[in-house]
Chain A
C-alpha cells in the first residue's frame, strides 16, 4: 500500500499536487538545545494517504520532531518539505494554513467555551476570520464545517457542553475535532491516547482509522502496541536518530528495536 515513491522532488513546483509527491519529507533535520542534540539528521518521507507512526522511548525526540513540523521549534539545520513546498522555519499559524494540523499531548482546548465553539473557532480560521460586523453564529458554512468535525469525532451530542465538563477521553477527541476543523491534508497526533482507559484507547484508535480514509496521519506514540494494527509504516526514533523504519511486521522483528524497547 505504501511503496516508497522514488520521484525526485528537487523541483517541487513542477509536480505539486501530483499523487506521487510525498505529503511530507524531512531532510537531515537536526535540532540542538545547547550541547544536546535532540534530533540529529532525521530524514523521513511519508506518502500521501499514509498513516505513519513515530515511536520511541521517552526522550527519543518524538515531540521535538513534532514541534519542528508544526512550527513551534525552528530546526537547527535540515529541511521540511510539505506537499512539495518547503515549510522549514515557518510560524505555526502559517503551517496550519498550509494544511498541517496537530493535536496536543497535553489537552489544550478552550475550557470556558463549548465543544462546538472550540471546533467553530478552528473552522473559522479558513474563512470570515477578520469579519467584525456579523454575529459569529451567523455563518452556515462555518457552523457546517464545525458540525462535520464534531460528528467525525463522535461529539455532536455534546456540542453545547462546556469543554471543561467533558471527560478526559472526550476532551482528547475534541482535540482531534479541532484539528480536523482546519481541514488539514496532514494530521499530526501527539500521543492521542495518553491517559486513556483501554476502552477509550480502542475507541480513539477506531476513530483515527475512520478519519485516515481521507487524510495522511502522523501519530507519535510511546506505546508500540497501540499503533501496530493502525499504521502503514513505523519510524523508530532513539536518542534523536532514526533507529529503524519499516512496516509494523518488520519493526516488530527488528533486533535493534527489540533491544531498545526491552532495555527501557
Chain B
C-alpha cells in the first residue's frame, strides 16, 4: 500500500544523513517561498494564500486521525468552530489580547474534543465517523440557536486584536504580517505534529491504524490512545479556527456546519493521507481549482460540477493523493 520501492533505492548505509538533509533543504525552500510570497502577491492572492494555510492546518489536524490513527472524523467543523467562537467570545467579552483569545479558542476546542472523544472512540470505522458527524451537528444547532451568546445566524463580529509580543512589539495586523503570523503558527504546528507522529506515541497510533486488535493484544490500551489522538487533533483544529476568526474578524455558524468537515476530509484525500503536508497541498489545490474554475466559467455557471470531475480524476489517477508517493519517506 505504501510506497515501498522508494525506500529501497536509497542505500541503507548513509540513508539517514541523506534523508534528513534532503528533507530540511526542501523544507527551507518551501518556507522561503511562503515567506516572500506576500511581498510579491497582490492583496487578493495574499489573503487567498493565508486562508489556504489555515485550511491546511485544519486538514493537517484531521490527518492525525485519518492518516495516522485510521479514524475518519466528520467532527472537525465542531472543533474548528469552537476555536472560532472561543476566540471571538474572548475578544468581545474579556480582553483585546490575541494570546488570551488563542487560549480561549484552544480551551473551547479541547473541551469539545474531550466530550466527542469520550463517546465516539468506543466505536470504529463508519460508526465513529457518523458519531463525530452527529456531535458536530449538535454543536452547530446549539451555536445556531443560542442567539444571546453566539449571535445565532449572524455570528459574532469583533475588531481584530493587535499582534503583540509583550515589551517588544505591538502593532495592527496588516495582510502581510497576518500572513507571516499564520505561517509561523502553521509551521510550528507542522513541526509539532511531525514530532508527534514519529514518536513512540505516534507509532502506537499507526499500529492501531494497521491492526487494532493486534495493538491491544501486545499490551496497549487502545481506547486511551484514541481519546488522546482525537483531543490533540481537535486542539489543532481549534487553532485553525482561532486563526480563521482573527483573519476574518468574525465567527459564523456556517463554519460549524458539517460541510466544513467534508471539505477537510476531501483536502486529506486529494493531498495524501498520512503525510501531514499532503493535506495542506490538498487544501491549496482544491481552493485554487475552485477559484480558477469560478473565474473561468463565471459565477452563474455551476462550477462545482467541473470541480467534482477534477476530484474524481484525482481519486482514479492518484488514489494515494498528490503527495501519497512520498508517504513513507516523509514519515521516517
Which A residues are CB-close (under 8 A) to B199?
Answer: 131-136
Q: CB distance A121 to B216 under 8 Å? A: no
**Interface size of A in residues (CB-CB distance below 8 Å):** 41
User: Which residues of chain B from 217 to 244 have a CB within 8 Å of any chain A CB?
Assistant: 217-222
Contact A129 to B220, CB < 8 A, known contacts A108-B211, A121-B203? yes
Which B residues are CB-close (under 8 A) to A72?
Answer: 213, 217
Q: CB distance A182 to B198 under 8 Å? A: no
Which A residues are CB-close (under 8 A) to B213?
Answer: 72, 92, 108
Contact A93 to B222, CB < 8 A, known contacts A121-B207, A132-B195? yes
From A97, A113, A131, B219 is in contact (CB under 8 Å) with A97
Closest to A110 in B: B210
Which B residues are CB-close (under 8 A) to A110?
Answer: 207, 210-211, 214
Q: CB distance A93 to B216 under 8 Å? A: yes
Contact A132 to B219, CB < 8 A, known contacts A108-B211, A110-B211, A110-B214? no
A122 at the interface (CB under 8 A from B): yes
Q: CB distance A96 to B200 under 8 Å? A: no
Q: CB distance A91 to B216 under 8 Å? A: yes
**Interface size of B in residues (CB-CB distance below 8 Å):** 27
A255 at the interface (CB under 8 A from B): no
Which A residues are CB-close (under 8 A) to B215?
Answer: 121
Q: CB distance A136 to B12 under 8 Å? A: no
User: Which residues of chain A from 57 to 116 have a CB within 8 Å of any chain B CB?
Assistant: 70, 72, 91-94, 96-97, 101-102, 104, 108-113
B202 at the interface (CB under 8 A from A): yes
B196 at the interface (CB under 8 A from A): yes
B4 at the interface (CB under 8 A from A): yes
Q: CB distance B214 to A132 under 8 Å? A: no
CA distance A157 to B196 in the complex (A): 30
Q: CB distance A124 to B216 under 8 Å? A: no
Contact A124 to B203, CB < 8 A, known contacts A93-B217, A108-B214? yes
Q: CB distance B217 to A70 under 8 Å? A: yes
A126 at the interface (CB under 8 A from B): yes
Which A residues are CB-close (under 8 A) to B214?
Answer: 104, 108-110
Q: CB distance B216 to A125 under 8 Å? A: no
User: Which residues of chain A from 215 to 246 have a CB within 8 Å of any chain B CB?
Assistant: none
What are 10 residue pairs bridging A and B, where the CB atoms are less than 8 Å apart in the complex? Answer: A104-B214, A110-B214, A111-B1, A121-B203, A121-B207, A129-B201, A132-B200, A133-B195, A133-B199, A135-B198
Given contact pairs A113-B206, A129-B200, A130-B201, enumerate 15 new A-B contacts (beta carbons under 8 Å).
A91-B216, A101-B218, A104-B214, A109-B211, A110-B207, A121-B215, A122-B219, A125-B218, A128-B200, A132-B199, A133-B195, A133-B199, A136-B199, A181-B218, A182-B219
